[in-house]
Amino acid sequence: MWTSKVPSQQLNNKHQLFKGRLLTVGSALQRHQQQNHWEELLETTPTRSDEEWMQAKAYAELPGPGAWRLLSYFLPGGKLYNTNLIQMNRRMREWYGDIYRLPGLLGKNDVIFTYNPKDFESTYRNEGIWPIRIGLESFTYYRKVIRPDVFGGIGGLVSEQGKSWADIRNKVNPVLMKVQNVRQNLPQIDQISKEFIDKLETLRNTATHTLNADFHEQLKMWAFESISFVALNTRMGLLSDQPDPNAARLAQHMSEFFNYSFTYDVQPSIWPYYQMPEFKKFLKTYDHITEITTNYIEAAIKRFDDAQQSDTKCVLQQLLALNKQVAVVMAMDMLMAGIDTTSSAFVTVLYHLACNPEKQSQLHRELRRILPSCEDALTAENTKNMPYLRACIKEGLRITSITPGNFRITTKDLVLSGYRVPRGTGVLMGVLELSNSDEYFASSAQFVPERWLKSDSDVDVDVKACPEARSRNPFVYLPFGFGPRTCIGKRIAELEMETLLARLLRRYKISWLAETPLQYESTIILSPHGDIRFKFEPHSV
């Protein structure tokens, strides 16, 4: 059974109510558009009549509040007033159990919340080749309705469904999911990490070893510089004193995009009925991002045309070879999905290492073997064997997955935890809770990278692998999702995080200075927030 143990992070209340509501209220037109878009993907066979289905309990018997009760929870004085999504889910789980239903208000589909890994398995195993995950509607609207001239009717991976999604995904999978192809970027990603550390040195108080700057903001610039190198084959100079002026504008518009997207894609909004002036500003932000990104792509195309033909093609060249519109959409999606995610995940892993000095020392020993001197380069050869570093990343993302739940719309009738769940129902799989449960991970509150090591890992003799401390169930740990719709940026994110962690922890002993544990606010993802202070003391060797 689930233990109601709270993971180490605290969650900020801001915005959560609305996110919770998104799943239950939403705007009628958005809902209508979404349904029109994906309802045609649902299986058309008659309702199941097999034994499992017939013996299962009726859908109506699922625990959960009725519509009015649910609304009353959120009113001032209500039991869930001012709670965030995670707190709301935890309380509801205490009240209703490991599976419960939130009614879809105003005609929106119901959402089943489940904490049973067997349900995760059933949902994923039956998602078919075109899994449905509701994306950001404003993306699709802007690309398909406002700017078909630029995007040629392509909505992008995040928001497309069905065949339109698969057409892009099948094309770009070999470019972005193949480890070797992504790892060809290592020299430049390493160079960017070195520049990040040079910048950190200029911001570091050498007496107190603290930073005179917002570390998380600096990390966003690092993530931006790294992903724009991969997506646009362009160095933006965001870690230098003189960034490319267009890059600085793009960074600004990206940050506006995240705020607007939360307001118009996550919170319920009337924009599909009536476009208020603020929504029009959001469309302008999309315009700016589109204009700057396409200019960078045009400049890169010119550079590629002028350069000598080479056997190795960068990611952008490979995407352009598929189709120019796919390349433009994918490059923009990489920028939009690859900055806050990677920087938030990075802060998370660093925080756990900072709070666990003995694990950090162990990692430092591994890194000294890989980089005898801080100035050495990270290469395809020397990065092959860094099991402890990789285990630290996995363990950090286990304790705090920045995407705490995974979402699908069921395409078939499913039996979940003994209840009949009709096709077309939303299922939210609360994976963060399971990866923080002692039932699946021994001493789950503790940061134990050793649980991810294989017994025969090539680590120091004094490290003891303990793979038995992690569950073999593949559905209880899914920081990048699962199946054909899994995160397409996983390889890139891993490369970036490994490279910068190797450089940072090779060079500094890092400790956590804030008085409270790392806190998170939840917008589109869980994002570190509040007092984020580390100490960076250079190692003597």
Give the nearer residue to ligand HEM in terms of CB position, either 219 or 487.
Answer: 487
The smaller minimum CB distance to ligand HEM, of residues 120 and 447, is found at 120
Give the HSE-up count for residue 189: Cα atoms under 13 Å, Cβ half-sphere. Answer: 26
Separation of alpha carbons 355 and 507, rounded Å = 17
What are the E-state strand segments in 9-151? Answer: 10-12, 99-102, 111-114
> Is the CB of 395 or the CB of 420 nearer to ligand HEM?
395
Residues in contact with ligand HEM by CB under 6 A are 133, 157-158, 169, 227, 333-334, 337-338, 341-342, 345, 402-403, 406, 479-482, 485-489, 492-493
- Is residue 83 within 8 A of residue 17, CB to CB? The reply is yes
What are the backbone dihedrals phi and psi of residue 470, each rounded to the nearest 5 degrees, phi first? -130, 150
* Look-up of token digits 């660093």: 350
374 is in an annotated binding site: no
- Are the C-beta atoms of 214 and 244 separated by less than 8 Å? no
Q: State whether residue 462 is helix, strand or coil.
A: coil
Least distance in angstroms from the C-beta of 490 to ligand HEM: 7
Closest CA to 37 of 272, 304, 302: 272
Q: From the CB of 262, what's the least distance to ligand HEM, in Å? A: 17
Phi then psi dihedrals of residue 171, to 5 deg: -70, -45
For residue 118, the minimal CB distance to ligand HEM (Å) is: 18
Smallest separation, CB 9 to ligand HEM (Å): 15
C-alpha–C-alpha distance, residues 320 and 304, integer Å: 11
For 354-370, give one letter per residue: b (16+ CB within 10 A) or e. bbbeebbebbbebbeeb
Looking at the Cβ atoms of 10 and 486, the one nearer to ligand HEM is: 486
Nearer to ligand HEM, 64 or 396 (CB): 396
Burial 501-523 (b: 16+ CB within 10 A, else e): bbbbbbbbbbbbeeeeebbbbbb
Tokens of 92: 């509801």
The residue among 104 and 489 lying less far from ligand HEM, judged by its C-beta, is 489
Beta carbons within 10 angstroms of residue 77's beta carbon? 6
Q: What is the closest distance, in whole angstroms, from the C-beta atom of residue 450 to ligand HEM in the complex?
A: 22
Tell the smallest beta-carbon distance from residue 75 to ligand HEM (Å). Answer: 32
| Residue 501 C-beta: closest distance to ligand HEM, Å | 12
Nearer CB in complex with ligand HEM: 105/487: 487
Binding residues: 487
Binding residues for heme: 487
